[in-house]
Each structure stands twice: as structure tokens, then as C-alpha cells.
Structure 1
């Protein structure tokens, strides 16, 4: 079947050789003409490198933060803004100083839609390169637009980083001033609280209360002892007479001493030597012995016993007066100590009541101080970061590949049309013949009849006479000359185009 189609195609080519030659010339020159009028698009690219590896970074890595941004997204967001589009349009000459705002707006919108920005990394790591591209029919326009975009982006990026660092520093500085004032206020409140509350702390109050309680217990024991001594003295004083009548005082003291000693021996069997009654009785024995000694010294001045004063009575009366004075003094001291204890209890309650307020003031002071110190560190880091951005020591963009003036248009060029012209000149007529053969309803092949169950008696081949062969030969020569001449003209036109003859 394929061989039959090829034979039929060859026969049709021979029959329509003139049309094929004319079609070849027409299609070739038509494609060449399309190449003349095909719009040219010139693309200019510029590559920027985000340089953040400098000598400052390892030295201040933990002290200052260099302002960082997403390379491609930052470049895209920046260059596609209305303000940047207007700057690029003015600097590249797309818009003149006398053009209307409408033209400026239309040109800026067109730049926003056509200016290409993409980020990439040759090593596949973080994006460190930014490519800016622009396509335009004019070489000069494309070059000027990309050059203006690269310059504007580098300048605006540097200014934006400096502005961001400066704003961060100013904000943190204002916060430092605010917290400094808050810290001063908190410190003043704490000072006023401590000045108004001089009750001390809980430990001091607890120590004072413990001492006062011990003193009160001791005073109570002393008062009980004084009361016992007073009662005993009063009892002895009630049994004594103020004047001596029958016996000498020495005998009386001796008898009383004997009785007291006997009583002491009996009491020691029941009580300890430190018992108040035992102690009191010992004092009385000592008093009796002293009285006996005084009585012996005054015995030579003996007088009538009916008019002498009893010395034991006088001694007991003095002892009673002393014990009574001591008892009253200790009772007053107990009352004063109890009042001090009550005052300490009141002070303890005041301290407990103000403890929460003091804790709140102290906590506010500590938190404010901590925040203030943290903000001071942040302020210093922000200052260093701002200095780095101002000095260009942070993330900076440098031109990796400068925009080059385009010499070759992008996409299909005249060379492509010149090469495709002859090829399409042959392909289109032959393709038309193939379509003609496939669509022609006439029966050309024996297999078609056999497929229709029509018996085929014989196949008569085409016969070429000598005259027909001479005519075919002469026609082929003429058509060859025609096509050769057409190709010569075609080549001259192409050469003239490349040489600039046709502008």
C-alpha cells in the first residue's frame, strides 16, 4: 500500500511539476517575507548576588542581628511596586518629563506586568542570586530598563535596610526610656513603702516575741515566790509581839531558831531545797541568827523587859516591807512586759498584712528591672545592627552579571525563517499532493478493486513515448533553472538582510 501511494505521489508530482515549482517559490518567499516582518523581542538580564559572608558576621554573630530578607520575594515585592515602576520608567526614558500622569501610570503598570524577577541558587541551597529580566522590541529600551531596575533595586534595598534598622533602634530606644521611667517609679514606691513601714521582718518579730514570753514566764515565777515570802512574813509578824515582857530577846530568838530548824528538817523530808517554802524558812533562820547576835551585843544594856521593843518584830516588819515592794515592782514589770508582747503581736499582724503588698512591689520592681536590662541589651544590638547596615556590612547586593546590550533577539529570528523557507516550500506542495491523493475519489490502486470484490482482468501500465520523455526532460530543465534562479534571488535577499541593505 505504501509503495502504491509513493508511485501515485511520484506520478502526481510529474503531472503537476510546474505548480509544485511555483508553489515552492511562493511558499519560500512568503516565509522569507514573514521573517522580514516578524516582530523582534530583545531580552536583557542582570544577576545580583546577595553577599552576607563578610568579616563582621563571625565576630558579631551573637551580638548583633543583620537585617535579613527573602531574596526573590523581597526583590519581586520591591520592583513590582508602583513607586519603583515609576522610578524605573523615568530613569530608563520610557516616560519623559513632559508626559502626562496617565502615560506614566500606564507605563508603570506595563512594567509591573512584564519585568521578570526570580531567585535561584546554583548549589541548590538557600537563594542567594536574583535575576532581573525584561523583554522589549527595542534593544535600547530593554537595556535601559534592566539597568535602571538593577540600580534602583540595589539603592532601594540598601535604604530599606537602613530604614528598618533605624526604626527598630528608635522603637527599642523609646521602650528603654519607658521602662526606665517605670523602673524609677517602682523603686520609688518600694522606698516609700519601706520608709513608712519600719516594723522589721517576721524573723525579728518572732525573736522579740520569744524573748518577751520567756521574760513573762520568769516574772510570773518570781511574783509567785514573792507572794509566798510575803504571806510567810505576815504570818510570822502576826505571831510576834512588838515589845519583850518576860524573857530576854536572846532566849526568844534561840527558841524560835530551834523551832525553825526543826521545821526545816521536817520540810526537807518532803520538799526539795529549792522549794519556795524551804528557801523562805532558811531566810528566817538566818534572820534569827542575826537577831541573836545583835541581842548578845546589847545584853549589857539590859533594861526592864516590859518597855523594850522586840527586835524580831522590827526585822520581820522590814522584811515584809521589802518583799511587798519587790512584789509590786515585779507586778508592774509583768504588766509592762505583757503590753510589749501585745505590741509585738500587733506588729506581727501588720507585717503579715503588708507582706503581700511588699511582695507585689518587689515583684513589679524585679520584673521591670529585668525587662529594662533586656531592652538595654536589645538596644545595643539594634545600634550595632543599624551601624552594620549603614556601613554596608550586612546583607548587601552586588552585581554578579551586569546587564549586557542585546545583539540577538529572543525567540524566532530572520535566520530561522530563511532556513525554514525552502524546506516549507517543498513540504507544503508535496503535502498538498498527498492530501489530494487521499481525498481524490478516483480509483488508483488494484487493491481498492480487490477490496470491493470486483474481479480485475489486467493492469495496463503507463507508457511514455520518446516525445513525452523529451518534453519531460525539457520541462525539468526549465523548472530546475526556475527554482535555481528563485534560490539565487532568495539567497541575495537573505544576504542583503544580514548586510543591512533593507534596514
Structure 2
């Protein structure tokens, strides 16, 4: 630490030896700095403030109906990209700054200058923006700011419309593509259904349900066919004389006589009675009514047989072919034959359907897989199509809303205005800086001179610098004349330094007075 202090003191003593050179350099630098500061042209600032209102009443009302982008983020991005080369070129034309430009190089220089001097700043977090520009001509600065405000507002609206148009155009192209896909999918489904029309079932029934119904109907038809065949065979035996039907003589022989129509109805009612007795008691009205109907049919049969006996007794010599009972049996046989034929056709049809359904069920899994694939593709295309149509309506509504300018409202809080007094340079701040720079230059000049012509003030410094042994030191004892001369030199140095500071002080005071009078 002691060595450092000794070295510092040695440097200061060496610089002190060249103080006159330092004062001279300080005066020269001070004069040059003052002249440069005073000759800097005044620049006037024009500014404007714009408030971007993003809180619209339509925003919550149209929530879910329109696409609502982050308007604050868009405005912030617009403010950061506003000062771009295309916008600056447009500003040059709008503010008539290109009237005196004669060359391409001058135009490029003007664009570069505007790009570096134009400023747009966000004030706080309230979407308040300040646009400013400085120029030697206040009217020119005001025109530039006015043009910049117009570009700021127009760029936001133009971007909104361009984005909305691009979105609608893209969605329309996608909708047309999906319409074609839907038409193709519907045609494939139609062709598939036409090819496999027999597999289509109504009321949500599956193929197994259809097969079960066909089996039930087939069994029922076969049972009905057997009943009809038995009834037909009985009629044939009666006509052929295998059973006595015309003139039963013995008591109780009526029970063996068959009347197909009445007997069939009696059998049907008896079966119905059995079903009713399984569910109801003997006193149930349906059971009583069925028993009464069976009794009436049996009475009708007895009366019919009685009529036949009377006819046979009254016409003992009539032939069998002319016998009305025989004729009635022939009619009943013909009806029975027709019924058998009809039931045979029904059974054949049901058997054909059963075989066809069984055959189709073997290939049904493959057909169902193909149908599922077609239906899945169709549903996907349909869902995407419906979503795109919904998005198109939303984009249309968003575009109309953007055109109305209701989402972001640009309000000019302070119109472009140029200040009456210069915004720069701040000479009251630059002059003290010039004084400090002059003093620093003088000190640096003295230090450099001391390093160029070094002086040793003690033996140790000389020995350290040369590396030679020191035999001794000789001291100079100044006389009175030398001391007086040294004092006079110090006084001149102090007067020169004080004079430099005083000159700058007078200049700063005068400039401050002029500034206050101009205000």
C-alpha cells in the first residue's frame, strides 16, 4: 500500500511539473467544446398520444359466437413493428419529405434518419402510446407525427381486414373440399345399401332377430299346413265313404260325424279355453264366454246333423251325388285343398327366406365391417364439415365486427403538436460536461507529458528505473528568488483554472437567463 501511495504521489508531482501545458490544453479543449455545444442546431419535438380501448361491450356479448383474438397483444406487436421500412417510406410520401430529394442516396439517408429518430413508447399498462419525432423544423416534425398516427391506425384496421379475409378464404376452400368428400361418401353409402338391401332391417332389428322371427313364422306355417292337410284328408275319407257321415242311425253316432267348418271353430275355441284357464279362474268372464260359445257351436253342429237326417229320411232314393250333404263336403274339400296349397306356398317362401337369411348371416360380419368403415369415414367428414361451417359463420361475424371497429377503438388523446422551445440539445447540461471534459483533457495532457519526459524525485525511484547502484543524492536548496518565481507560477496556474471555470459559469448563467426569457 505504501508503494502504491508513493507511486501515485510521484505521478502527481511529475504531472504538476507540466501544469502549464495542462492548463493550455484545458483552455483549448474548453473553447472547442463550448463552440461545438453552442453551434449544435436546436431540435423541436412533436408528439401525440393515442389510447387503444380494447374493453368493448360487444366482447362479452359475442363470447362464443366470434373468434376474439388477444387484441392487446396485437396492438403491442403492431407498436413494435410500426417503424418498419415500408411504413417509413409511406410516411416520407405522406409528410412531403421527398420534395427536395434528388438522388437515391439522399432518400436512403432520409429513411435511415427517420427510422433511428422516430419513437413509439408504451406508457404504463393502459394501452396508452406516445409517438414522437424531433427535427430542426417544428412544422416538419408535426407533419411527420401526424403521418405516423395515421399509419398506426390504418395499419391496425388493414391487418384485421386482411386476416379476416384470409381466414374466410381458407375456410371456404376447406368447406368445398369437405362437400366433395361428403358427396363421395354419400354415394358410396348409397351404392353399398343398394348392393346389400336385403340386409337392411327396420325398427332396429338385427339379423338374429329376423332369423328368429322367420323360424317362428316357418314353424307356425308348417303347423298350420299339417292341420290343413289333416282336415283335407278327413274330408277325402268322408267323401270316399271311409266314415259314416250321411245317415247315422244309432244313438250317439253324431259324435263320430265330422263337420269341418264347425269342428274347426270348436277346436279353436277349445284351445283358446285352455289358454284362458292357464291364466284365469273358472268364474272369469272370458272363460265363461268361451264356454258359452263352444256350447253354441256344438248345438249348431247337432242341429245341422239333425237336418241332414231329416233330409235323408225324406229322400231315401236320392243319389249320393245329388245329396246336398255330399255337395257341401265337396265344397269343403275344395276349400281345404286351396288352403293347403296356400299354406304350402307360404311354407316354401318362409323356407326360402330362412335359407337366404342363413346364407347372408355367414357374410354379414364382413359386410358390417365394410358398412362401419364407410359410416365412420362419413361421420368424420360430416363432423368436420359442420365445424367448418360453424367457423365460417364465426369468421364472418368476426370480420363484420372488425369492420365496424368495435373491438379496438383508437382514440387520439393528444393531437400532434410541436413544442415552442427546443427539446434538444440541453446546453445547460452539456456545458458543465464540456468543462469537465476540458479539465480532464488538461490533466491527461500533463500526465502524458510527464511520461514522455520523466522526472525522478527520490533516489529509490531512480534506482528502480535504471537498475544501477545509487552512490548518493544532491539536494537543491531554493533561494528567495526561486521561491517567488514558483509562487508566481502557481498563481498564474490557479488564475487560468479559475478563469476557465468562471468563463463556463458565466456562459451557463447567460444561457439559463435566455432560456427563461424564451419560456
* Residue aligning to 1:334: 343
SS of equivalent residue, structure 1 residue 30: helix
Task: Write the distance in 1 (CA, Å) between the matches of 2:400 and 2:306.
Answer: 103
Matches within 5 A, 1:216-365: 216-233=221-238, 236=241, 254=249, 257=250, 293-294=310-311, 318=327, 321-322=330-331, 324-338=333-347, 341=350
More contact order relative to length (CA 8 Å, sep ≥ 6):
2
Shift of 1:388: 3.0
Q: In 2 relative to 1, CA 27–175 (structure 1 residues): closer, same or farther, beyond 3 Å?
A: closer
SS of equivalent residue, structure 1 residue 327: helix
Shift of 1:229: 1.0
Task: Write the distance in 1 (CA, Å) between the matches of 2:12 and 2:252.
Answer: 173
Matched residue pairs, number?
Answer: 455
| Deviations, residues 365-397 of structure 1 (Å, cap 9, x unaligned) | 988887776566545544543343333311233
Alignment pair present for 1:64 and 2:66? yes
Alignment pair present for 1:80 and 2:79? no
Task: Write the distance in 2 (CA, Å) between the matches of 1:213 and 1:316.
Answer: 35
* 8 Å CA contact retained: 2:153, 2:410: yes
* Residue aligning to 1:392: 405
Matches within 5 A, 1:109-124: 109-110=111-112, 113-114=115-116, 122=124
Q: Of 467, 471, 482, which residue of structure 2 is paired with 1:468? A: 482
Shift of 1:449: 6.0
* Residue aligning to 1:92: 95
* Residue aligning to 2:30: 28
Shift of 1:89: 0.6
Shift of 1:47: 5.2
Task: Write the distance in 2 (CA, Å) between the matches of 1:441 and 1:100.
Answer: 58
SS of equivalent residue, structure 2 residue 411: strand
Shift of 1:203: 3.9
Alignment pair present for 1:444 and 2:457? yes
Task: Write the distance in 1 (CA, Å) between the matches of 2:19 and 2:371.
Answer: 114
Q: In 2 relative to 1, CA 313–441 (structure 1 residues): closer, same or farther, beyond 3 Å?
A: same
* 8 Å CA contact retained: 1:219, 1:330: no
Matches within 5 A, 1:123-202: 128=127, 130=129, 132=131, 134=133, 141-165=140-164, 202=201
Task: Write the distance in 1 (CA, Å) between the matches of 2:440 and 2:506.
Answer: 22
> Any stretches of 5+ residues in structure 1 without a counterpart?
241-248, 265-272, 275-283, 300-307
Shift of 1:8: 7.6
TM-score w.r.t. length of structure 1:
0.63
Q: In 2 relative to 1, CA 100–209 (structure 1 residues): closer, same or farther, beyond 3 Å?
A: farther
Q: In 2 relative to 1, CA 48–298 (structure 1 residues): closer, same or farther, beyond 3 Å?
A: closer
Q: In 2 relative to 1, CA 259–73 (structure 1 residues): closer, same or farther, beyond 3 Å?
A: closer
Shift of 1:95: 1.0
RMSD (Å) for aligned C-alpha atoms: 6.0
Task: Write the distance in 2 (CA, Å) between the matches of 1:374 and 1:10.
Answer: 89
Shift of 1:43: 6.7
* 8 Å CA contact retained: 1:117, 1:130: no
* 8 Å CA contact retained: 1:47, 1:400: yes
Shift of 1:445: 1.1
Shift of 1:444: 1.9
Q: In 2 relative to 1, CA 175–481 (structure 1 residues): closer, same or farther, beyond 3 Å?
A: closer
* Residue aligning to 1:305: none
* 8 Å CA contact retained: 1:233, 1:319: no
Task: Write the distance in 1 (CA, Å) between the matches of 2:304 and 2:8.
Answer: 167
Q: In 2 relative to 1, CA 446–400 (structure 1 residues): closer, same or farther, beyond 3 Å?
A: farther
Task: Write the distance in 2 (CA, Å) between the matches of 1:7 and 1:361.
Answer: 100
